[in-house]
């Protein structure tokens, strides 16, 4: 009788230990999943929260985005809200390992006056940047090649696995795009594929520190390091 009780007790101990081991393994995999993927993406689509969202992810969030959103407007002009069917805002953020994974998309149709002002801003603005005593005055880069379907004002062109640009769609419309660590068009949820550069996947697949493209936020770059300044437009 005593042997049976001992066997039952040992069986219970082994079952309990098995449950604990399985739970620990599951907890480890959940930890690894969240460490590398950041868990589910945090998504904002309410255009009324545009300024709040941009300020949050450039100023407040730990592991904040690696951009100052120089191509994006600080505020959305009222005329864009008058064409509400054409106004789209989508902000997706995951605090993934080392660098955030992001998809940010804003599309506006402006009045003629606001559109012209925005084109002038994109074309003519100079950004004074500073990092550790080094200084630079940079501008967005205009590209009108067949690589893009429409003219673009670039802040980041395939640098650090990212793209940022404003696309002049004509008809008083501008699309603003920021993508970070999304290597294929299929990984994008909102940005239209026709708004991407033709070499999107290939360029990101081969992107390294040595062959990075244009980046308006660079203050100084050598063979060994790169210093950047994302500014504080949304402060």
Q: What is the pLDDT of residues 148-200, one digit of tens each?
A: 999 999 999 999 899 999 999 999 999 999 999 999 999 999 999 999 999 99
- Domain boundaries, position 159: 41-228
Q: What is the pLDDT of residues 111-146, one digit of tens each?
A: 999 999 999 999 999 999 999 999 999 999 999 999
Residues 17 and 123 in one domain: no
In a domain, 235, yes or no: no
Dump pLDDT digits (tens) for 187-221. Answer: 999 999 999 999 999 988 877 756 778 999 999 98
Q: What Å distances lie between residue 54 and 152, 157, 218, CA to CA?
A: 21, 21, 21
Per the structure block, which two tokens stand in for 234? Answer: 């949304």
Residues 6, 105 within the same domain? no
DSSP three-state, residue 135: strand
Residue 116 covered by a domain: yes
* pLDDT given for residue 21 in this prediction: 53
Claim to verify: residue 106 and residue 172 sit in the same structural domain: yes
- Domain count for the chain, please give it: 2
Q: What is the pLDDT of residues 38-49, one digit of tens each?
A: 578 899 999 999
Per-residue DSSP letter, 71: T
Number of Cβ within 10 Å of residue 129's Cβ equals 21
pTM of the model as a whole: 0.83
């Amino acid at each position: 009788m005593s042997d049976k009780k001992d066997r039952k007790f040992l069986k219970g101990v082994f079952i309990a230990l098995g449950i604990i081991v399985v739970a620990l393994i599951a907890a480890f995999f959940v930890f690894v999943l969240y460490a590398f993927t950041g868990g589910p993406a945090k998504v904002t689509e309410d255009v009324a929260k545009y300024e709040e969202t941009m300020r949050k992810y450039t100023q407040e969030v730990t592991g904040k985005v690696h951009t100052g959103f120089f191509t994006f407007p600080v505020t959305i002009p009222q005329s864009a809200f008058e064409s509400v069917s054409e106004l789209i805002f989508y902000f997706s953020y995951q605090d993934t390992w080392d660098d955030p994974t992001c998809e940010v998309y804003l599309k506006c149709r402006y009045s003629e006056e606001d559109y012209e002002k925005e084109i002038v801003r994109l074309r003519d603005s100079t950004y004074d940047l500073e990092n550790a005593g080094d200084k630079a005055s940079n501008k967005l880069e205009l590209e009108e090649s067949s690589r893009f379907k429409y003219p673009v004002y670039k802040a980041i062109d395939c640098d650090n696995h990212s793209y940022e640009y404003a696309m002049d769609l004509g008809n008083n419309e501008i699309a603003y795009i920021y993508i970070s660590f999304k290597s294929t068009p299929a990984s994008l949820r909102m940005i239209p594929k026709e708004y991407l550069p033709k070499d999107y996947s290939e360029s990101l697949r081969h992107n390294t520190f040595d062959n990075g493209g244009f980046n308006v936020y660079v203050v100084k770059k050598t063979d060994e390091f790169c210093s950047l300044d994302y500014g504080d437009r949304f402060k």
